[in-house]
Amino acid sequence: MKPVVNIKTPFLTVDGIINIQDDKGNFTGVVLIERKYPPIGLALPGGFVDYGETVEEAVIREMKEETGLDVIILRQFHVYSDPARDPRQHTVSVVFECVARGTPQGQDDAKKAIVVPYKEIPFEKLVFDHKKILIDYLHNKNAIFK
């Protein structure tokens, strides 16, 4: 059998819904980053999966790189694959629900990282399909913050 060459496939990415927990165990909000590079706006932290890396390893790495936080993965939330979800190219994102304590610091591709209370998420400023992801999450009966 002849090897297939020049196969065009979507890029694999991960995004993290990081729920911040205070010292008393209360959830105070979700982490958003202000992007350094286009598309400019607010986003969930995330990025590309490296070759040889699992999606779980990738989300832990990306969360640390962009926010400085050590996250605990609670579960895989959903996969988003709309070819138009990223204006740069076709990406498929595996989204994870995570929890962390501490104050996020914008690093790497993140100009800034902030904790936003769940009821104050500025949906109009979100890029990619992150508005849809967060709306889906906030309406999910199994979301950790509920």
Q: What pLDDT is attached to residue 60?
A: 98
Q: Look at residues 53, 15, 10 and name the one whose alpha carbon lies nearest to residue 33.
A: 15
| Domain ranges, residue 57 | 18-139
Which tens digits make up the pLDDT trace of 23-33? 999 999 999 99
In a domain, 82, yes or no: yes
Does some domain include residue 10? no
Query: How many domains are contained in the chain?
Result: 1
Residue 9 lies in a domain: no
How high does pLDDT run on average in the chain? 96
Query: What's the average model confidence in pLDDT over 11-26?
Result: 97
**CA neighbours within 13 Å on the CB side: how many for 138?**
14
Listed residue (53, 61, 59) closest to 76, CA to CA: 59
* Predicted pLDDT at 7: 86
Place of tokens 């609670």: 74
Work out the angle at residue 104's Cα, subtended by the Cα atoms of residues 62 and 123, and round it to the nearest 5 degrees: 85
Residue type present at position 140: N
Residue 104 falls inside a structural domain: yes
Q: What is the pTM of this model?
A: 0.94
Q: Within 10 Å of residue 61's Cβ, how many Cβ atoms?
A: 15
